[in-house]
Amino acid sequence: MILLDTRELDHPIPLEMAVDAFKTLKSNEVIHMIHRREPIPLFEIITKNGGRYLSYQDTDQLWHIYITRDGDLEALRV
Amino acid sequence: MFEGLSLDQAPPISVVLRFFLSVPVFGIFLSVLMMLYPTQILTVNHPLSLAAIHLLFLGVITMSMIGALFQMQSVLGGRPIPAPLGNAFLIHILFSVGIFTLAGAFITQIAPLFVLAATLLGSGIVYTVFLIIPLLFKSSLHDTLRGMRLALISLFITALLGIVMADAYAEGNFSTFHEAIRATHYSFALIGWIGALIIAVAFQVVEMFYVATPYSDWCKHNVFRIIPAALILKTLWLFLALPYVWVFDLLLAALLMGFFTTTVRRLRERKRRVSDVSIWFWSIGMGLLFVSLIAYGGYLWNMEEVILQIAVIAYALFALSIILGMMGKIVPFLVWFHLSSAGYMDAPIMSHVIPLKRSQSLFGLFVLVCGTAVMSVLYPPLFILTGVFSFALFALLGYNLIQALKLYRYTLTHGTRFTLE
C-alpha cells in the first residue's frame, strides 16, 4: 500500500501527488490517500484512465481515498 | 461511507477559457478609454464613465465570474450545466456583443444601441440564470451553492433594472423612480452579485487552497440570509422614499467588514505559510475591500463624492484582485486536469503552466494600477498612467492565458499517454 498523507498540503499538490503515484502504479498496488476533503476531480482522472477508487469519510476534515488498477478495494470497505 | 458520485462532470476546457480569454480584450478596450478620457471617466454619471464602469463590471468582472460558474457548478454543484459547449457559446456571444454595444451606446448616445444592448445582455443574463438556477435548487443545500444562487438571482434583478434604465436612456425619458432604480441596480450588482459570489467562493477556496481554518458555521449559514434581506429592505426604502436608507448600507458594510476580518485572520493563520502569488492577490484584495468600506463609511458621514469614488474604485479593484488570483489558480488547474484526464504522461505540473515570474509581474502591474487609480481621484490626470498600467496588466493576462492554451494544445498533439500494463 502506498501511503499519501496530504492533509497539510496546499491545493493542488495533493492532486498532483496522487496522479503521479497513479501513473506508475503496479497492477495490484493500492494508493491510500489521506486528505482533508474529498478530491472529486481526482476521481474523474482515475476512472477515465482505467483505475478505480473508494472514498470514505472518517471525520469532518478527514477522508480516506483508496486508488488501484486491479487491486481488491472491496476488502477495504468499512 | 462510500460515495457514489457521478463523474465525467467537468465541462470542456474551451467552455471556461472562452470567457476568460475575453477578459483581456474588454480590459484593453477599457484601458484605452482610460488613457484617452481620464477626466470624463472620473466624472460621476458622465457617459464615458458609465461606458467604462460597464466594461469593467460586465466585460472584465462578470465575464470572469460566468466562466468560473461553469466550472464551479460542475465541481461543487455535482450537477453539470447541460450542453456546456453550445450554452457557453450562446451566452458568450450574447454577453460579448451586448457589452460592446452597451459601451458603444454610452459613448455615442445612439438611442437604438441602448435597446439592442438591453436585448442582448438581458437575453444573455436571463438565459444564464434560468440555465443554472434550477441545477442549484436541485442540489443539496451547500453554503457555497446558496451563495451562488443568491448571486445569480441578484444578477437577474440587476439585469431587469438595467433593461428598464436602458429603455429610459433610449427614450431620454427618466421616470421619478430613476434614482431608486439606479441605486437598486448597482446595489444588487455590487453586493448581491459580485460580493455574494466572492464570499461563496472564499468559503470554499480559502480553506481548500491554503489549508486554512474553515469559516464559522454561523457565518456560512447567515451571510446569504442577511445580504438579500438588507438588499430587499433597501429597495423598499428607496422606492417608498423612506428616510434612513443608509442603515441598510451600513449593515451590508458591517457584514463585509466581518468577511474582511475573518478572511484576513484565516490567511494569516494558515497552517502552511507557503508564498503564492494568489495569496498576494487575496491579501491585497482584502486590503482594497477595507479601503472601500472605510471610504464608503466616510461618504455616508460627509457625502463627499470624491470619497464615494475612492470607495467604488477600491471595491472594483477588490473584485478584480480576487479574480486575477483565482484565474492564476484555475487556468493551470484546468490545463493539468484535462490533460491528466486524457491520460497524458507529460501533462505539465500546474506551477509550470503560468511561470512564477509572469504571475509576479501581473501582480506588480496590479499594484501599480491600484496605487495610481486611487490617487487619480485626487489628481485626475494621473488616471492616464492607470490606463497605461492597466493596458500592460490585461495584455500580460491575455499573454498568460494564450500561452497556457498553447501549452495545452501542444501537449495534446505531441504528448505521450501513460499506459497501464
Integer Cα distance of B337 and B355 in angstroms: 17
Mean pLDDT calculated for residue range B312-323: 98
pLDDT-based confidence at B400, cuts 50/70/90? Answer: very high
Mean pLDDT calculated for residue range B178-191: 97
Helices (H), chain A: 13-23, 40-48
pLDDT-based confidence at A73, cuts 50/70/90? Answer: confident
- Burial degree of B61 (CB within 10 A; 0-12, 13-18, 19+): buried
CA-based nearest residue to B377, from B43, B10, B13 = B43
Whether A78 is in a domain gets the answer no
- Burial degree of B286 (CB within 10 A; 0-12, 13-18, 19+): buried
Residue of A nearest to B333 (CA): A12
pLDDT in tens, B41-58: 999 889 999 999 999 999
Integer Cα distance of B202 and B256 in angstroms: 13
Query: Hey, which residues does A67 pair with through a beta bridge?
Result: A31, A53
Q: Is B416 on the interface with A (CB under 8 A)?
A: no
Whether A48 is in a domain gets the answer yes
Q: How far away is chain B from the Cα of A1, in angstroms, using its nearest Cα? A: 18
- Residue among A25, A50, A57 whose CB faces B1 most closely: A57
ipTM: 0.87
CATH topology of domain B13-409: Cytochrome C Oxidase; Chain A (1.20.210)
Question: Is A41–B418 a contact, with Cβ atoms under 8 angstroms apart?
Answer: no
Whether A32 is in a domain gets the answer yes
State the pLDDT at residue B2: 36
Residues of chain B numbered 248-277 and touching chain A (CB < 8 Å):
271-272, 274, 276
Question: Is B2–A54 a contact, with Cβ atoms under 8 angstroms apart?
Answer: yes
To test the contact with chain A by mutation, choose from B211, B340, B349 the residue with the greatest count of A C-beta atoms within 10 A, namely B340
| pTM of structure | 0.93
Domain residue ranges of chain B, discontinuous segments joined by +: 13-409
State the pLDDT at residue B140: 63
Count of other CB atoms within 10 angstroms of residue A5: 12
Cell numbers at residue B273, please?
A: 505559510
Q: Is A69 on the interface with B (CB under 8 A)?
A: yes
Strand A52-59 relative to strand A30-35, pairing: unpaired
Mean pLDDT calculated for residue range B64-91: 89
CATH for A6: 3.30.110.40
Domain count, chain A: 1
- Residue among A12, A19, A40 whose CB faces B75 most closely: A40
- Residue among A23, A36, A57 whose CB faces B418 most closely: A23
pLDDT in tens, A18-56: 999 998 888 889 999 999 888 888 998 998 888 999 998
Question: Is A10–B274 a contact, with Cβ atoms under 8 angstroms apart?
Answer: yes
pLDDT in tens, B321-376: 999 999 999 999 999 999 998 888 788 989 899 999 999 999 999 999 999 999 99
CA-based nearest residue to B105, from B160, B58, B39 = B58
CA-based nearest residue to B289, from B265, B266, B312 = B312
Q: Which residue has the cell 422606492?
A: B239
- Number of inter-chain CB pairs under 8 A, A vs B: 73
State the pLDDT at residue A78: 53
State the pLDDT at residue B184: 98
- Residue among A8, A16, A27 whose CB faces B272 most closely: A8
Residues on chain A touching B329 (C-beta within 8 angstroms): 11-12
Question: Is A16–B350 a contact, with Cβ atoms under 8 angstroms apart?
Answer: yes
Task: Find the range with the poorest average confidence among A9-13, B296-300, B304-308, B316-320.
Answer: A9-13
pLDDT-based confidence at B72, cuts 50/70/90? Answer: confident
Question: Is B211–A10 a contact, with Cβ atoms under 8 angstroms apart?
Answer: yes
